[in-house]
A and B are shown apart, each in its own frame.
Chain A
Amino acid sequence: MSVRLLARDPAGRRALRLPEGATVLLEPMPHAATAAVAFSFPVGSRDEPDEWAGASHLLEHMAFKGPHGGTAGELDRAFEALGAEANAWTSEDSTVLHATVLPESAAAATTWLAVAAQPRIDEADLEIEREVVIEEIWASLDDPEERATDLAHALAYAGHPLARPVLGTHASVAGMTSERLRAWRDRHWRPERLTVCVAGRFEAEPVIAALLKALAAWTQRPVPTAAARPLRRVPPTLQAGRVSEVHPAAERVHAVLFAPGLAATSPDRIAAAVWARTLGEPGVGALHYALVDPGLADHAELLHEPSEDFGTFAGGFACAPEAAQEVQDRFLAELQRAQERPADAAVWRRAARTLASDLRLHAQRPAERVEPLLRAWSTRGRLHDPAELAAQVHDLPPAAAESLRTARPLDRLALALVRPPANSA
């Protein structure tokens, strides 16, 4: 079997399928000074049954512990001998290992990421890493804004795995055994589920050759027959409501809110992004001028976040406790106003231009190209082209958001508030 071309575009981007089943996305950026390489597996917190909560994130932490037969730290040293900034992230729907290197090290970075994606999972390593992840959970719980985000997820997606934090809980992480984590690895981190993305200045052939060689060396592990089965992905139905909690370390009021948006497959997702900016973009949107500009809140925003099978308008604010009711009232009033009449043409144009400008500016850095390339391919099977998208956004008329506006999505709000204790207000 040979490498198969799945797609290509005039800018030289390519999507390939390797014999082992892995997909490769390549974006040449001749003016870049670096190359970014990423390995992505389509597994995240939404795939985890309750008793597996946090497994994807904990497995990500184990990646850099190294392969079977190695010692802790060897892999980190190998990456850094290349000058690689290697790291990883886990979201609701994917786990990504990535590294940024000088152009001549792109193939070597690919080799080492392939090693990282086959981690040994020793009990001794896991015992340490559980402590590290629990520290990460403590830090998240100490942060009032992150707590508000967790509360908003729990409220909006009650009964759905998206209600849980990606990190899992203290109990679920403390109870994760090496045997279970190996099962999660063996089921989900497989070559046929892998997408590799390389963006920047690099030579494609050595990178592909390195990848083919590395994947051929992966241990052939059978898919576990029963263990580590993921939940079937079901689009969530956002549940409206309000929740409020006192946070002992808070000195400000933090609000996070979600409303139903559009999936990444929707043709109206770009209009949704611009419409959200007419409300929530700093310096452009109505929320800024109602709340931040007069000095009532230190931030107030709204944006649109499309995922593979659902979308969310996500926003929030932070302010002094004594201003909280006024800020909340004004925030909600602006959301209502935006649904009652079409966006002003000048405001729409500004919102579109800031989005187009952001697309162009973020397209300069190879490391910032990885996430949009992976997401566009996984959700729409398309090669992400920021210049094409920026041109589309630039020319989009306000009428593009009319069907969205008249559906009044912002009436169905899940709002979470985190407040300081009463005596600190």
Chain B
Amino acid sequence: MPHRLTNGLRAVVEARPGSGSVAVRAALPFGSVLDPPDLRGAAQLAWTWAARGAGGRNARERQEAFADAGVRADGGVGRDLAWLAAEGTELTEALSLLAPAWCAPHLDDAEFPVAVRHASEAAAARAEVPEVLVDVALSARVLAPPYDRDPYGEVADLQRAEAPRVRAHLRRHLHPAGGLVIVTGDLQPEAALRALQETFGAFRGTADGTTDGVQPPLPPAALQPASRTVLPDRALRQTHLGVAWPLLPAHDPRAAAQALGMAVLAEGGSSRLFTRLREHDGLAYAVQASAVALPGIAWAEATLATAHARSDRAEAVLLSEVRRLAEGVSEEELVRARALLRTREAERCDTAAGRADAILRDLVLLGRSRSPAERDQDLRLPGRREVREALQAAPCLDPTVVRLSGRPA
């Protein structure tokens, strides 16, 4: 049952008796899409800075308080969403420790250089990982600006950032409008709602008079035409490939049928990609493909790594399989895909955190949350015809390809 806190935050409370823990998720529409063009990573840096002290506790005191309470806490910034997460056994304490990051971030000048170092380290560490380089390049070519930016930003921009500008950026956007907070697990719903009101309900935003405290809406996300990119080669034994193509968005009534089709392509040991590329041809150890979604749009990403000498063949096999998907799936494939996805849905419900993540995703992409039974029912209904129609509505005709070639050291 959705609720509204008095500050406008949307709240979902779901009791899951016997789960032995509670999970909290909170999210705001704030991310790299709002980064100024000359300060890529501004949202990441601002969020990192806010975590350096809040509610009268510095970074260390906050981390120690979480540990004292036995609460696992986390947070981060993506393209369009900034989020907080906590798991533990005691809800009130988790909420009272988590909420100050939004309600009362210190943004001390003394902590700004540390936040810059943290954000720069995180961005630099990603630049070493070939899978990440391919993923970043793929997103940059699939998504139209401003969604094409990597949420971690650019080290050069981060290192010349100035505290007043980053502070103003965060204050302009740190506002309850469009925010969500979810609690699930072993809890009493009425008490949980009261605790939410007392903690996240006190979040009023930090608009400082430079704006009216009204956050502008995020720009709509859109996809770019297909392209092919070859990244500068690196001293790697393997060549890494990434392929992307548009899908039906999550709110489309055919999305569940499409998910079943994608599972036939890429989920499990009997999926088409695994069977062709690994079991039949031995071309790759791991090959993945999955749907990625933002509000209003979705696309598929498939990636693999293989020895350089075999990479042309691997790419040809990968592309032939993703293109063939629009022809539809067999009944046997559909039965397997449905069973596999239903098990995954059940597994999400094994933990409070898994269920909280599912609710968050539903709220962001669909504007409402589905019960486990409704999510299960969505997977039970589509037949072969519905799956084929969904796949033909978003066929992979001309995919975007990114290639990071290895070269012998």
Contacts and interface: CB of A to CB of B under 8 A. Distances in A.
Contacts of A295: 114, 116-118, 120-121
B350 A80 contact: no
Contacts of B121: 295, 297-298, 319-320
Interface stretch (B7-15, B194-202, B339-347): B339-347
A402 to B, nearest CB: 22
Contacts of B125: 252, 298, 318
Contacts of B342: 83, 102
A83 B340 contact: yes
B317 interface: no
A8 interface: no
Contacts, number: 192
A135 B284 contact: yes
Contact of B284 (A32, A86, A132, A141): A132
B236 interface: yes
A284 B89 contact: no
A211 B263 CA distance: 30
By size class, the interface of chain A is 35 or more
B19 A364 contact: yes
Q: Which of B87, B130, B279, B337 has the most CB of A within 10 A?
A: B279
Interface stretch (B65-73, B204-212, B254-262, B289-297): B65-73
Nearest to B339: A83
A106 B352 CA distance: 23
A141 B122 CA distance: 23
A44 B384 CA distance: 44
A250 B128 contact: yes
A346 B341 CA distance: 45
B349 to A, nearest CB: 4
Given A77-B336, A101-B343, A102-B346, A139 B285 contact: yes
B234 interface: yes
A224 to B, nearest CB: 27
Interface in A10-42: 30-34
A142 B352 contact: no
Contacts of A349: 68
Contact of A142 (B130, B335, B340, B351): B130
A132 B347 contact: no
A364 B340 contact: no
A363 interface: yes
A353 interface: yes
Given A83-B340, A84-B340, A250-B128, 7 more contacts: A80-B268, A80-B337, A132-B284, A138-B307, A293-B59, A320-B124, A357-B70
Interface of A: 30-34, 64, 72-73, 76-77, 79-86, 100-102, 127-136, 138-139, 141-142, 144, 200, 248-252, 281, 283-284, 289, 293-298, 318-320, 346, 349-351, 353-354, 356-358, 360-361, 363-367
20 contacts: A31-B17, A33-B347, A34-B343, A81-B332, A81-B336, A83-B340, A83-B343, A86-B269, A102-B342, A102-B346, A130-B282, A135-B307, A142-B237, A248-B235, A252-B124, A289-B60, A295-B117, A298-B124, A320-B124, A353-B67
